[in-house]
A and B are shown apart, each in its own frame.
Chain A
Amino acid sequence: MYQFEYHKASSVEDAMKKLASADDGKILAGGMTLLPTMKQRLASPSDLIDLSGIAALKGIKVDGKTVTIGAMTTHWEVHSSKDVQKAIPALSDLAGQIGDPMVRHRGTIGGSIANSDPSADYPAAVIGLGATIKTNKRDIAADDYFKGLFETALADDELIVSVSFPIPKRAAYQKFPQPASRYAMVGVMVAETDSGIRVGVTGAGPCAFRVPAMEKALGAKFAAESVANITIPSDGLNSDIHGSAEYRAHLVGVMAKRAVAAA
């Protein structure tokens, strides 16, 4: 790790001010991605602005239609929240499958979504449930948020404040972990929402995406066999030593089928 200045922000405004005045500042949430890269000297921010002191970024609120989760809420809090378990059990279930207990107690939903790792779990929920990303500047619809490999719609001076998930009629998440890291090789969130069926896929592509063909088939009939014969093209999918694009394309089908069965 190289030298850096540490700042603890007291509010979102304070955080943005500190970020703006830093040379090459970075927001610090749970640090589960940022700190390892700094330790390996792959990132060298001049300043870290820690969000952990901002109460407004924490906590889970449920109203009749949505579950709103503050950016600094940990995976463990989402997983163990009775409110989330009741409103969107699939989301609690997903959060419980992230990493290990240490990671779940530090890592945050804001950090995960801001980072947009191609194999992170939350992006499947954001896309699959049709969430809204609330930043200090605007609301961003899920479909407009993920732009590519580690690329999002966030501007440099934009901070995720919370994520709102509309409560689906039913939903389920199925994950096939990459054996070594246990991030998602492929993860699929299938949901029946007020605005129709959504299928959100993570792990398979450069960033999370929907599968319109499956959504259409499930719209006609919400049953596992509806997606059984739908294959997605492997072009452009991720390929590495753990899974070729072809294998990942195949797993999307398997996980989607299982998610439908579980929903």
Chain B
Amino acid sequence: MGEFGIGQSVKRKEDDTLLIGKGHYIDDINVAGQAHAYVLRSPHANAKVLSIETGSALAMPGVLAIYTGADVEDVGPLPCAVDAMFEFKRRNGSKRFFPTHHVLVRTHVRHVGDPVAFVIAETRTQAKDAAEAVLVDYEVLPSVTDTAAALAPGAPVIYADETDGNDAFLFTMGDAAASEAAFTAAHKTVRFKHVNQRIIAASMEPRGCIGEYDAASGRYTLHTNTQSVYRNRAICAQMLGVEENRIHVTCPEVGGSFGMKGMPYPEQPLVMLAAQRLGRAVKWYSDRSEAFLSDTQGRDLVVDAELALDSDGHFLAVRVHSVGSMGAYASNFGPMILSAGSVRMLPGVYRVPLVYAEVEVSITNKVFTDAYRGAGRPEASYVIERLVDLAAHAMKLSPVEIRRRNLIAAAQMPYSGPTGMTYDSGDFVKNLDDCLKAADWDGIEVRRAEAAKRGRLRGIGMSVYIEATAGGVPETARIEVNADGSVMAYSGSLTQGQAHATTFAQIVADKLGTDYDRITVHQGDSDILAQGGGAGGSRSGYSGGGAVLAGVEKVIDKARKIASHMLEAAEADIEFDGGTFTIAGTDRTLSLGDVAKAADDPANLPDGMAPGLKEDATYKSEASSFPNGCHIVEVEVDPDTGDIVIENYTVVDDFGHVLNPMIVHGQIHGGIVQGIGQALYEDAIYDAESGQLLTGSFMDYCMPRALNLPSIKIDMNVVPCTTNSLGLKGAGEAGTTGATGAVINAVLDALAPTGVTHIEMPATPQRVWRAIHDAKAA
């Protein structure tokens, strides 16, 4: 309703402070008397810790304490949440092998960056100096960082004391025999072997935390940047062996996360433990180099994928064998994302009768993987969209025509596919048609010829994507109308830059009629609501927003009852509009503020009604939402250097209803840029011998820059979601999901005249040049 309601591009409440550098982040928080911690990390990928000598370090100026694994044996290991949800088994049928993940190593270091000691001093510099004086005697062991090589016979077994291989578990989905039969009977099959490379999240703000302990109440406070104060509270309580009521978690502004800050890390329980032991607050803040070594990383799959077709180019079956590497430990969601997460969306937007997938997850001497924007769905989308282009080539059909023959029609919704996903809504054909037109797909030959005159190879590619956001996860909110009519909206969700303060306020403004400026959204404090969820899986809009909406509806219900009582009219005769209750057909009104003011005094209320106008609500969407759309990318390749320039980027997205188009456009931009980053630039490369991260700084880890990016043309195709109250489809990860396939398809279209048919991500200049060079030689 109105210019601040749902669907309006309301300016972000957050920006006035953030854009002038007044945002309040973890490093802006300083607690009186705080000490500083520094983590001494392993310089080796795999080694036995023979001894740790802290004596001379402890004697250094300002040093308060140094903890090693032996000093924190009372802290429980970091849990893997998905371990309880899946029955993971190894290929040989035995139980999954997930190594115990201690907050500080006890006997071995398993990746470069593994925490060895926690050094606390008066200043950060003193802690760092002391860390250098800690003498650790390592017996360096052979390491393995290559995802697939870790499973090869003869690879050093990383946890040889505990298990007999580097295979953590094997995940299978579908009917192997039925898919084998489909492949045998197929008219044609195409095959696509590739690497979905490891990605470093590289959020602008690194991780950090401050622990406090109040001896009188026995309560800990943890200030930290996270995606969920509640998950952090629960897991930290478990690790510290205390009850949840004894931990208070707060979270200020967060400078990006992308999944990486979604789970607790060793430093969080450690700062709390140190605060309790030392009787003063302890702060830890990661520097950029540490972030490269200790933040969870994303992706990391080696995939062998096949598609079977009949003689009309209809898809018969998709089959995938992949190896994913979770790194040295099983992180919170990591094993699920690599396995089920990377294959459930393999059918994409197509009618695919059969899907069979096997994912074997390896343990390697790399930092552990976990959610990274898209968390499995971009991996799946990349597989199917590349297979479809290869199939088009094999069937001598255009990429458009082969897609048309296989797209699920709008009339088939809701559509249940072979992997157990039910798409509630969507019009994939319209997405394709609209995008083809907006991108002037048919005009490519003119542009290709013009580029050729300049010595450039121009190509066009698409992906018609769909992804599954998190569904059925409860979220909480509290809506409180103050006596002056202003509104507090508390949310159990949490923002890392997505602007919940704006979009949630829009929902309140729209439904309660309250001025946008008189609505304050508050989140990131585990003491306010009993429970809450957080951000993750692109669900905040419909989960967090849905909870806000549910709270608002409860407030209106109650306020209507009070208004009916005060106005002495039947509840059914009370209308509510624009923040005012009116007896229908009269001029007798009460504002929401009047009602709120009256509600504090039980005398004004119907018998038995509790005072106040403050409602808690929990909302759970029925299912995942399925954002979908079409990306069309046009690139030019410089065949002499291998350099790629993205010339045009067009996208049509179906996000159902949209709370704030401007904010959603921002999500599309960011999502696409991260997809482009994976397609063309980003790659976490480990040295095969030493296990060192070779791309350990921005000098070698290539982030996409503004100058690499085109202006992105966006259109919306609104088909409301039917499984949540706001009709939204999560927009946060869709861009990343659609981008990689579209970019690489465009690159390979450009390279077609050179005979190149395959390129790995990232398609760096050297790789492109090498591919052209090798194709020429062949």
Query: What is the interface of chain A, defined by CB distance below 8 A to chain B?
Result: 1, 40-41, 176, 179-181, 241-244, 247, 250-251, 254
Inter-chain pairs besides A1-B125, A180-B700, A247-B770, 8 sampled, C-beta below 8 Å: A41-B128, A179-B681, A180-B699, A180-B703, A241-B685, A241-B700, A251-B641, A254-B641
CB-defined contacts of B769 to chain A, threshold 8 Å: 247, 250
For the complex, give the distance between the alpha carbons of A181 and B695 in Å.
Answer: 11
Task: Kindly state whether residue B86 has any CB partner on chain A within 8 Å.
Answer: no
Q: Are A181 and B643 in contact (CB under 8 A)?
A: no
Query: Are the C-beta atoms of B766 and A243 separated by less than 8 Å?
Result: yes
Tell me the B residues contacting A by CB distance below 8 Å.
125, 128, 132, 289, 640-641, 643, 681, 685, 694-695, 698-703, 764-766, 769-770
Is A179 within 8 A of B695, CB to CB?
Answer: no
A38 vs B75: C-alpha distance in the bound complex, in angstroms?
36
CB distance from B397 to the nearest CB of A (A): 35
Q: Is the CB of B289 within 8 A of A40?
A: yes
List the B side residues contacting A40 at CB < 8 Å.
Answer: 289
Point out the residues of chain B lying under 8 angstroms from A176, CB to CB: 641, 643, 765
| Residues on the B chain within 8 Å of A241, using CB | 685, 694-695, 700
> Which A residues touch B640, using CB under 8 A?
254
Chain A residues, CB < 8 A from B694: 241
How many angstroms between the C-alpha atoms of A213 and B185 in the bound complex?
Answer: 61
Q: How far apart sit A227 and B32, CA to CA, in the bound complex (Å)?
A: 68
B641 contacts A181, CB within 8 Å?
no
Residues on A with C-beta less than 8 A from B701 are 180
Q: Which 9 interchain pairs have the tightest Cβ spacing? A: A180-B702, A181-B699, A179-B702, A254-B640, A247-B766, A180-B700, A243-B766, A241-B685, A241-B694
CA of A145 to CA of B766 in the docked complex: distance in angstroms? 31
Query: Can you name the residue of chain A whose Cβ is closest to the Cβ of B701?
Result: A180
Complex alpha-carbon distance, A40 and B697, angstroms: 11
Nearest Cβ in chain B — how far from A84, in angstroms? 24
Majority secondary structure, A binding face? loop
Chain A, residue nearest B707 (CB): A182
CA distance A254 to B289 in the complex (A): 35
Smallest CB separation, A185 vs chain B (Å): 8
Which of A176, A179, A242, A254 has the most chain B CB within a 10 Å cutoff? A179
Q: List 12 A-B contacts (CB under 8 A).
A: A1-B125, A40-B289, A176-B643, A176-B765, A179-B702, A179-B764, A180-B681, A181-B698, A181-B700, A242-B700, A242-B764, A242-B766
Q: Please give the distance in Å from A41's CB to the nearest CB on chain B.
A: 8
- How many angstroms from the CA of A41 to the CA of B289 in the assembled complex? 12
Residue of A nearest to B128 (CB): A41
CB distance from A241 to the nearest CB of B (A): 6
Closest residue on chain B to residue A258 by CB atoms: B640
Residue of A nearest to B705 (CB): A182
Residue of A nearest to B694 (CB): A241
* A183 to B, closest residue via Cβ: B699
A150 shortest CB reach to chain B, Å: 15
With a cutoff of 8 Å between Cβ atoms, the chain A residues found around residue B125 in the complex are 1
Cα of A244 to Cα of B640 in the assembled complex, Å: 15
Contacts of B132 in A (CB 8 A): 41
> A1 to B132, alpha carbons, bound, how many Å?
13
The distance in angstroms between the C-alpha atoms of A177 and B701, with both chains bound, is: 14
Chain A minimum-CB-distance residue to B708: A179
A192 to B769, CA, bound (A): 30
| Contacting pair A180 B641 (CB below 8 A) | no
Q: How far is the CB of B388 from chain A (nearest CB, A)?
A: 29
Task: List the B side residues contacting A242 at CB < 8 Å.
Answer: 700, 764, 766
Q: How far is the CA of A40 from the CA of B292 in the complex (A)?
A: 14
- Please, how many angstroms separate the alpha-carbon atoms of A242 and B694 in the complex? 11
List, in ascending order, chain A residues with CB within 8 A of B765's CB. 176, 179, 243
Q: How far is the CB of B53 from chain A (nearest CB, A)?
A: 21
Q: Which chain A residue has the least Cβ–Cβ distance from B642?
A: A247
- Rounded to whole Å, the gap between the CB of A29 and the closest CB of chain B is 20
**Residues in A neighbouring B766, C-beta threshold 8 A:** 242-244, 247
Residue among B289, B701, B764 facing the most chain A CB atoms (10 A cut-off): B764
A181: chain B residues at CB < 8 Å are 698-700
Report the minimal beta-carbon distance from A190 to chain B, rounded to whole angstroms.
Answer: 16
Chain B residue at smallest Cβ distance from A181 = B699
Kindly name the residue among B132, B681, B769, B770 whose own CB sees the greatest number of chain A CB atoms within 10 A. B769
Query: Which residues on the A side are within 8 Å of B699 (C-beta)?
Result: 180-181
Bound state CA distance, A3 and B695, in angstroms? 29
CA distance A179 to B642 in the complex (A): 12
User: Min CB distance, B769 to chain A, in Å?
Assistant: 6
Closest to A176 in B: B641
Q: In the complex, what's the smallest C-beta–C-beta distance from B267 to chain A, in angstroms? A: 21
**A residues in contact with B702, CB < 8 Å:** 179-180
Q: How far is the CA of A10 from the CA of B752 in the complex (A)?
A: 63
A250, B768: Cα distance in complex, Å: 13
With a CB–CB cut-off of 8 A, which chain A residues contact B700? 180-181, 241-242
Alpha-carbon separation in the docked complex, A135 to B204 (Å): 42
Q: How far is the CA of A218 from the CA of B769 in the complex (A)?
A: 26
For residue A101, give the distance in angstroms from its CB to the closest CB of chain B.
12
Most buried by B among A1, A244, A247: A247
Interfacial chain B residues near A1, Cβ < 8 Å? 125
Select the residue from B132, B695, B700 with max chain A CB neighbours within 10 A.
Answer: B700
